[in-house]
Amino acid sequence: MKQKETLLNTMEIDHTGFEELGEEHVGTSLETPLREDAFEMDDELKIELIEKHFREIMHIMGLDLNDDSLKGTPHRVAKMYVKEVFSGLNPKNKPASKLFENKYNYKEMLVEKDITFFSHCEHHFVPIYGKAHVAYISKGQVIGLSKINRIVQYFSKRPQVQERLTMQIGNELKDILGTEDVAVIMDADHMCVSSRGINDTNSSTVTSFYSGKFEHDEQARNEFLKYIHLKK
Ligand SMILES: [Zn+2]
């Protein structure tokens, strides 16, 4: 376990280029950029340190941390970060995916639509939330339906960019199910767009991942699109 004192040493960051990025939401890689020592500290120490630093942020902003309503906030935020909204950073929280044999030999696509997800924009640390729609065509194995929700939620519970999130879910389903035939569409509202900055509350962002038949067969892709738009 890491000592508390080492935290600041690991926080030396190259600040050049921050301003060029500005409001552009660009991601740098398919993998979430984690350090190798990301999980050397346990959750309890992470909560303790985040709490300390969040208290400092509130103090700098001039808030009175002796106020009954505010004094629990640093701990609440720290616990929420580690145990809830960013719990998907830690591979130990990855859902185990039990597969079943496709005994009934179902050959068509399976679509699970309108999966609710909550994530956070990694550039502003404010929520991204919306619906995910997932499809796959079995190559002999099937997965429990709620596991698809869990996979979507696991990758959502990280600081994210929507493009990466969509690809991470698609690639994970390909790996687990042993099929190339996977599609993911995510339609989301970004609070960094709606509640600040450009303050646009109407726009939403749609990203897609098409692999195998969904990439090459227009009919398969259109069938998927038709299903997910039924309710709209
Ligand atoms: Zn943002």
Instruction: Categorize the per-residue pLDDT at 19 as very low, low, confident or very high, splitting at 50, 70 and 90.
Output: low
pLDDT tens string 118-150: 999 999 999 999 999 999 999 999 999 999 999
User: Residue 98: its pLDDT value, please?
Assistant: 84
1 CA → ligand 1 middle, Å: 32
Q: How far is CA 199 from CA 130, 188, 192, 193, in A?
A: 18, 15, 8, 6
User: Residue 232: its pLDDT value, please?
Assistant: 40
Nearest-angstrom CA–CA distance, 74 and 78: 6
Let me know if 15 is a catalytic residue.
no
Let me know if 216 is a catalytic residue.
no
Helix, strand, coil % in the chain, rounded to nearest 5: 40, 20, 40
Of the residues 153, 160, 162, 168, only one is catalytic, namely 162
Nearest-angstrom CA–CA distance, 89 and 157: 7
Of the residues 123, 153, 160, 168, only one is catalytic, namely 123
Mean of the per-residue pLDDT values for the chain? 90
123 CA → ligand 1 middle, Å: 5
Of 118, 181, 105, residue with least CA distance to 149: 118
Give me the percent of the chain exceeding a pLDDT of 90. 79
Q: Residue 195 pLDDT more than 80?
A: yes
74 CA → ligand 1 middle, Å: 22
Let me know if 108 is a catalytic residue.
no
Instruction: Categorize the per-residue pLDDT at 105 as very low, low, confident or very high, splitting at 50, 70 and 90.
Output: confident
57: which 2 tokens?
A: 């942020």
Max Cα distance, the chain (Å): 64
Of the residues 25, 51, 120, 122, only one is catalytic, namely 122
Nearest-angstrom CA–CA distance, 80 and 199: 26
Instruction: Categorize the per-residue pLDDT at 111 as very low, low, confident or very high, splitting at 50, 70 and 90.
Output: very high
194 CA → ligand 1 middle, Å: 10
170 CA → ligand 1 middle, Å: 22
Helix (H) or strand (E) holding 171: helix 162-177
User: Residue 72: its pLDDT value, please?
Assistant: 98
pLDDT tens string 45-88: 999 999 999 999 999 999 999 999 999 999 999 999 999 999 99
126 CA → ligand 1 middle, Å: 7
Let me know if 162 is a catalytic residue.
yes
Residues 227/184, Cβ–Cβ less than 8 Å: no
User: Residue 29: its pLDDT value, please?
Assistant: 80
Residues 160/110, Cβ–Cβ less than 8 Å: no
Let me know if 124 is a catalytic residue.
yes
Of the residues 121, 133, 153, 168, only one is catalytic, namely 121
Contacts 24+ apart (CB under 8 A), 197-204: 197/23, 198/23, 204/130
Q: State pTM to two decimals.
A: 0.88
pLDDT tens string 211-223: 999 999 999 999 9
Of the residues 25, 120, 124, 133, only one is catalytic, namely 124
26 CA → ligand 1 middle, Å: 10
